[in-house]
Amino acid sequence: MTNAPRTERGSSAHTAPEVADALLSVRDLRVHFPVRGRLGGPREFVRAVDGVDLDVPRGRTLGLVGESGCGKTTAGRAALQLLRPTTGSVTFDGRELTGLWRRRFGSDRWGPELRELRQRMQMIFQDPYASLNPRMTVEGLIGEPLVTFRRAQGRALRARVQALMERVGMDPRYVRRYPHEFSGGQRQRIGIARALALEPDLIVCDEPISALDVSIQAQILNLLGKLQADLGLSYLFIAHDLAAVQHLSDRIAVMYLGRVVEEGQARMICHKPQHPYTRALISAVPIPDPAVERTRRRLPLVGDVPSPIRPPPGCTFHTRCPDAQERCRTEAPALRARADGRRIACHLVE
């Protein structure tokens, strides 16, 4: 990827606290996609991720939330090196991943070390319909990683696939069926079984319940929680449903226009949000109590999300913030750690 010019937008790498037991650490991550500018004009870039710091502790879950288009999926893919970051550092179990790419045949490709580490990092995709090859059986879909990395073959492969299906709550007799013969929830279970095939340490869950019915969402969340308890998995759980994120996450990071604006303990973020954007997100979550719902004060966001090609100067949220001051329009706030363990990028909170 062509490197985009670096800009000073309140990078927080120097303020991010180090997490001793972090399995995955992301520092100042940036993913900029080049776009064609006007004829004769300077080249422009979509700043999908523009300076993100994250830590996923071992055996824990970090929730990553925000509006559609805020860059959370791109951040997850770049953390797994499915996308090559423009700049920044991604460390997995003490190994720096961004330097393991190789230039071959005119394009960037995984080096042999990164390919081996791929076994320990997996992903559950958002769309259970598009993420499964319709021409492959369940046995082929779940067993493909085992064949690729020469973990099993023949009868051992069939037995391993059946065991994975049982673990995710599916009948192992369905190994010869095709994806179109299953419901959306069953397809997502197949995707989860495929992610578990190589016994990974880290799984990035990219909105795994957004395409499912509400009743099925609870089942998938409970399954992910049970798998984490049984196998000691670490999750980066990406979603826009704050209620689901709170159910599964130990900590929550809130993203807006490519940057993290608030991060802290899940209960703290959901019950005592500090950043104006987080407060607006929380106020939009419905409460299943009519009496409480009628008396709630909503904080609607006015205006549209700015363009990630030309983000506004200063705090990127100031164009929609009801409490914005002059300083917010000119100076980008750094993501600073507070005594209560959370990090916030907001001049008003300071």
Which tens digit of pLDDT belongs to each residue from 255-266? Answer: 999 999 999 999
Identify the three-state secondary structure at position 294. helix
Measured between alpha carbons, how far is residue 128 from residues 124, 184, 185 in Å? Answer: 9, 6, 8
Beta strands 343-344 and 44-57 are: unpaired
* % of the chain with per-residue pLDDT over 90: 69
Locus of tokens 């205006």? 303
pLDDT in tens, 67-125: 888 999 999 999 999 999 999 999 999 999 999 988 776 678 888 899 999 999 999 99
Question: What is the Cα–Cα distance from 230 to 138, expressed in whole angstroms?
Answer: 24
Q: Residue 285: is its pLDDT beyond 90?
A: no
Res. 333: pLDDT tops 70 = yes
Higher local confidence (pLDDT), 289 or 91: 91
Q: What is the pLDDT of residues 177-210, one digit of tens each?
A: 999 999 999 999 999 999 999 999 999 999 999 8
pLDDT given at position 37? 65
pLDDT confidence of residue 149: 94
CA–CA separation, 176 vs 3, rounded Å?
46
The CB density around residue 166, as the number of other CB atoms within 10 Å, is 12
pLDDT in tens, 2-55: 455 444 444 444 445 556 689 999 999 999 999 876 666 678 899 999 999 999
| pTM for the predicted model, two decimal places | 0.89
Res. 340: pLDDT tops 70: yes
Which DSSP helix (H) or strand (E) runs through 117?
A: helix 112-117
